[in-house]
A and B are shown apart, each in its own frame.
Chain A
Amino acid sequence: MSLPLYLAMMKNHGKMLGGFIYGASAYIVLIIWIYPSIADMKGFNEMIAALPEGMRKLIGMENGINSLSDYIAGEFYGMLLLIILMVYVILTSTRVMARLVDQGSMAYLLATPNSRVKVAITQAAVLLTGLALIVGFTTLSGIAASEWLIDGYQLDVPSFITLNLLTFLVFSSIAGYCFFISSVNNDEKKALGISAGITLLFYMLNMAGKLSEKTEWMLNFTIFKWYDPIKMINNETEALWIGCALGILTFLLFMLSVAAFKKRNLPL
């Protein structure tokens, strides 16, 4: 890794990253803040129960809202954060590689005594640092808000942290294949299109898979199968196994990307 490049890229990247961090943190604080009024609302769970099952699964409220944890996991991790992280990962992975090759500024980075491998690893580090910062700040904001902003409702902090770690790992894997696509493409728009296309396909398979039992097989073809926030926060998943598997997958995808970038012809 090249430290000067890493710092320059982080700085370059700061504004956009700041926006994502601010969006995610502010929203989790807001959603925790209004939790007491929803929990106290009579008939809310009955209303949810009246929805068809597929629908309930889709909005992450199979069993209604029974605890703060369920609520945060279902409402935020299952919906908005998922979209925020998806957008961040797709945009950033395209920016750190394909864009530099497409525009030609990669030529300058490789005209210094830093190998392609080193440059690619630095860019991967920038991508993963950004992702870690978003998830990290969200975690901290979530814990802080549930401690200080509301009274009488307890957030199980260790499980919440587990959820966040797994979230980070799931999106690292997504970052992994997006980074691969970005590393082998000369055209920024094409890389963006392919990454977004694949990820949306995964997302739709996930939605469709949850709709009914007939479509459940679709879940086997999407990475979001591994991402079930409510189960994660209730410790109903094999967190350790899934975590390790995702970690290894991420590592392999990034290795593959760096190797592909090293070997390929660059149109600089």
Chain B
Amino acid sequence: MIQVKGLSKRFTDKKGLFDLNFEVKKGEVFGYIGPNGAGKSTTIRHLMGFVKPDSGYSSIDGMDCWKNAARIQEKTGYLPGEIVFLEGMTGLGFLSLVQKMRKQECIKRRDELIERFQLDVNSPIRKMSKGMKQKVGIIAAFMHSPQVLILDEPTSGLDPLMQRVFIDLILEEKQNNKTILMSSHSFQEIERTCDSAGIIKDGKLVALEDMHLLRRVQRRVFEVKVKSEGDMEQIIQSPLVTEVKGARTIHVTVQGNDQEFVQLLSRCDVQHIDTRPQDLEDIFMHYYDRREVEK
């Protein structure tokens, strides 16, 4: 459904996109992850036809994204990364403008989404909080039930409860065989919704994998605080990868050997346990290390 072939756009030697290739099949949810400034939004701008590639092309449903931008929009919903609406409008005013510009009459889906996200649509957009604006944007992207959804950091600004509502919405659309591409910084978010994921760094795709594979090799670090030095000793002696972080505090790295980790902890007096957020680069460096070993 969504195809990106040899897409290149050079801003400077290091910045831009360099020979990007990936494909999202119909009914698939594709997670697009990468650190700040990696080129996620730039890729999405190409898909929306805002930017002309230097070379290569991208297409949606067989139509070139640059040449057929307007026609592609008929079946596409888009959520920009930075949301700014027209001035001097209420949420509802804006949504109905978008509907009219789409020549769409049915408001059932729109009202259903408004209800779901508990949005006060009658307040002026200028007075809305970041999260409220994000909701307006999400509703504008979903309300015409498009076949393809392109979402740039959809959960930024949403509170945890609304993030859940959003993830449920994605899962529901997935059931309905929609094709979705969403960018994110959070591996967890992608993990819960996506079938496959692409990792971009400095404008290059560094990994493109099935989600199951990624999950299996995902590395997590737990911060464990135990009650006695003896327990510390026991953990350090275990075959798990560990790193002492302070008095009775230790980081344990778990990768596929969850069972072993739980058993180890059951023999200790645990005072506190927490997971450390993992940065994406880490996840992928280890992903590659692991693959080398498997070979």
Give me the interface of A with B, judged by CB distance under 8 Å: 2, 4-5, 8, 12, 100, 103-105, 107-116, 118, 263, 265-268
A-B contact count (CB 8 A): 82
A-B contacts, 29 listed (Cβ < 8 Å): A4-B97, A4-B100, A4-B101, A5-B97, A8-B89, A8-B93, A12-B86, A12-B87, A12-B88, A12-B89, A104-B80, A105-B84, A107-B80, A108-B94, A108-B140, A109-B101, A110-B48, A110-B69, A111-B73, A111-B78, A111-B141, A114-B70, A115-B70, A118-B70, A263-B52, A266-B51, A267-B45, A268-B48, A268-B80
CB neighbours of A265 from chain B (8 A) = 50-52
Give 5 new A-B contacts, CB below 8 A, not counting A103-B84, A107-B80: A8-B97, A111-B76, A113-B102, A114-B73, A265-B51
Instruction: Give Cα A2 to B103, complex, Å.
Output: 10
Instruction: Give Cα A118 to B141, complex, Å.
Output: 21
A113 touching B85 in the complex, CB below 8 Å, given contacts A107-B48, A268-B50: no
User: Is there a chain A Cβ closer than 8 Å to B115's Cβ?
Assistant: no
CB neighbours of A5 from chain B (8 A) = 97, 101
- From 204 to 233 in chain B, residues with beta carbon under 8 angstroms from any chain A beta carbon are none
4 tightest Cβ-Cβ pairs between the two chains A and B: A4-B100, A115-B70, A112-B101, A104-B84
Interface size class, chain B: 20 to 34
- A14's nearest neighbour on chain B, judged by CB, is B88
Whether B97 contacts A115 by the Cβ 8 Å rule is no
A266 touching B98 in the complex, CB below 8 Å, given contacts A105-B84, A110-B69, A111-B73: no
Whether B50 contacts A107 by the Cβ 8 Å rule is yes
Instruction: Give Cα A266 to B45, complex, Å.
Output: 8
Whether B80 contacts A113 by the Cβ 8 Å rule is no
CB neighbours of B101 from chain A (8 A) = 2, 4-5, 109, 112-114
- From 74 to 129 in chain B, residues with beta carbon under 8 angstroms from any chain A beta carbon are 74, 76-78, 80, 82-89, 93-94, 97-98, 100-103
CB neighbours of B97 from chain A (8 A) = 4-5, 8
